[in-house]
Each structure stands twice: as structure tokens, then as C-alpha cells.
Copies of this chain bind each other. A is one copy, B any other.
Amino acid sequence: MSHPVVPVILSGGAGTRLWPLSREQHPKQLIALLNDDTLLQATARRIAVIEDAQRPIVVCNEEHRFVVAEQLLAIGVTPAAIVLEPMARDTAPAIAAAALEALARCKGGDDPILLVLPSDHVVRNHARFADAVRVASREAGRGHLVAFGVVPTRAEVGYGYIIAGDSTDAAEETRPVERFREKPDAKTAASWIESGHCYWNSGMFVFGARSFLRELDIHAPSIRSAAEKAHEHAVPDLGFLRLDAEAFGQSPAISVDYAVMEHTSTARVVPLDAGWRDVGSWASLAALSPGDEAGNVVRGDAVVQSTRNTFIHGSSRLVATVGVKDLVIVDTPDAVLVAHSNSGQEVKAVVRQLERAGRDEHRTHRRVYRP
């Protein structure tokens, strides 16, 4: 029995926290936020460093299918399958569908190893990432469900944590998971960091497709059965695989962490120290770039005056600031956001206001013609 590594790229997110750059129809993973690559493209390129990796399975929202296919084509990546979610159901059902598709595509008794990658992460050090995947794949081949635990660099309160037990292998390449913990308060986070036993839960996982489905059966059987029906009645559609909407809709919307990882006794954590960042908010995006001496990060055309710790993401217009600090300013052709750096979560509230008002600036970019 061989264990081919099948990357599973999860591209289902809506990314309202990066509004107004991200919109429902153009979520953050499909935007070139950092360089010429979109986050999805960067994720697909990251796979190239993994030894013996198969072509990826991509799971995305039905609405984004052409953009996803186009962006992968543009960098020469041909997915094994693009699995379309008829509606968002969080990560557990999406991974279950991908696992079933991976199994359907491999030979007889093989158990494909799934490398589950959210499409909105940044990983700077590809070599270390490849090393960690190698270790994780080995553990997955032994039946473990492996989480990548990011070696924390600060007492971050915005992430979930993995509390690890003592290492059982001599090389200390992996550790058993004691438990997953939700976003802590600052004091708790600091004490965990102090202990040396904790990692940030990266949301990247490695496990055998069969192992995963077995654990899903134990801990969340309704997800397993919904995903199975949705996959069984899926319709190939112009190169995409459209999951059956009625069946998929029966699944609860729940993350793989909640549904499986927090409950399984087979979880292990592989420490990852590879310059990982998620791009969950404007503040985290700002933190990815070095600021000038006043702590300002400027993309696009800007004039700053007496300005500190301010992130500016411009588009086609001039952005000028005077006498301000700790702001995030994002300019797009049809909307401009001015937010306090610490107000990341509240950007969602703006999006909800737009929804309630029956507007469309949260859905799509209005076309603005420029001569």
C-alpha cells in the first residue's frame, strides 16, 4: 500500500474582514495582496516543494469556480479536481468531500495522505515547510491525524492554540496533542507561551483519507454521511465536480478542529517554524511588511504627514494622511475604509450593515471606468 500525498486546498472563505478589497465575489484568497501572486496561487506554488506530491484537489465555492481555475491555470497548476461547494459548511464537510474524491481517484488499496492547506496563509520558508510535511506524512502513514503547530513568537490572542504533551520520539519531531484550545485572553496566552508546550493552531493538517473518514465516522457521523451522499450524487460539470446541494446542505457547518481534531485520540502535532502567518485581518496583513521609521506601511500612492503606525493600501488614487496614528486605510475604486488598527473584527459589522441596507459593495466591485 502506497501513500501518495494529495494536497487539498481549501478556498471556501469569504474574507469579509479584508473588505473593501475582498468582496463576496472576490474573497481574499483570490486577491494579489502581497505580490503578483494571489494567496491561492502562492498556496498552489508552495506544493511544488513537497516531494512526490500529487496534483491538488481544490475545494471552492461554486461562485468562484472560474476565477479559481483561471488563477491556477495562469501559474501552470492543473488540479486533479475542483470540488464545488453548493454552500459554505465550514472545513469539516469540505475536507470530507475532498477525502472521498481522493480515494475515488487512487488505486485499489492505496490510502492517500491529505495535506490540507487553507488558501489564505503565508509561509515564508518553503524548505522548512517541506521538512515538516515530510515528518507529518510519515506520522499520517502510521494512522495519526497531524496538525501543524506554529512555534509561537508572541502571546497572540487571535489564534487557537494546541497544547502538546511530551515528545515520544527521540528526534522530537512530533508531539502528542494534549488538547486544542480556543482563542485565549492575553494573560492565558502569555502563560502558555511561558510553558513551552503550546503552538498556534495553523489550520493546516496532514492525515490519511481513510483515517480521517474513520475518525469522522466516530465523532461526527452526520458530516460523514452528508459528505458521502453529496459526493456520490456529485455531477461533473465542465471540468468541475459539483457536489449534490441537497445532500451537502444536510451537513452541519463545523470546522475540522471542532468536528474531529479536538476529539480524536490519534492527533499529533508537528512543530512548524517556517514564517507562517495567516492573513485574517488588515492588521495581520500590515504586519507582513516592514514599516518605515514611523511604523507606516504604504502600498500604492500616498503622502503621509505626521503619521504613525498606519497601514495604507491604495488603488488608483492618492491617499493623504495628516496627524493620525494606528489606522488602516484601504482605498478601492468604489469604497474606502478608515479603521483603527485594533478594529479588525468590526469590519465584518460594516459588511453586515451593507447587507442589511440592500447594497452591493460587500458583494462585488462596482465597475469604474478610467480613461
Which A residues are within 8 Å of any B CB, using their own CB? 20, 303, 305-306, 317-324, 327, 329, 331, 333-340, 342-343, 346-347, 349-350, 353-354, 357, 359, 361, 367-371
A359 to B340, CA, bound (A): 29
A203 to B192, CA, bound (A): 66
Task: Say whether B338 contacts A306, CB under 8 Å.
Answer: no
Task: Say whether B303 contacts A322, CB under 8 Å.
Answer: no
A350 CB contact (under 8 Å) in B305, B361, B367, B371: B305
Task: Say whether B321 contacts A339, CB under 8 Å.
Answer: yes
Task: Say whether A303 contacts B353, CB under 8 Å.
Answer: yes
Q: A318-B334, A322-B343, A369-B370 given. 5 additional CB < 8 A pairs?
A: A305-B353, A306-B343, A323-B343, A324-B339, A324-B340
Residues of B within 8 A of A349 (CB): 305, 322
| From A320, A353, A367, A371, residue with most partner B Cβ within 10 Å | A320
A367 to B371, CA, bound (A): 9
Task: Say whether B329 contacts A338, CB under 8 Å.
Answer: yes
A335 to B331, CA, bound (A): 10
A322 CB contact (under 8 Å) in B346, B367, B368: B346
A371 CB contact (under 8 Å) in B303, B343, B369: B369
Residue in chain B with minimal CB distance to A342: B323
A353 to B321, CA, bound (A): 12
Residues of B within 8 A of A318 (CB): 20, 334-336, 359, 361
A318 to chain B, nearest CB (A): 4
Q: A336-B319, A354-B303 are in contact. Are A370 and B368 (CB under 8 A)?
A: yes
A252 to chain B, nearest CB (A): 30
Residues of B within 8 A of A322 (CB): 337-340, 343, 346-347, 349-350
Residues of B within 8 A of A359 (CB): 318
A317 to chain B, nearest CB (A): 5
Q: A329-B338, A338-B327, A340-B324 are in contact. Are A350 and B303 (CB under 8 A)?
A: yes
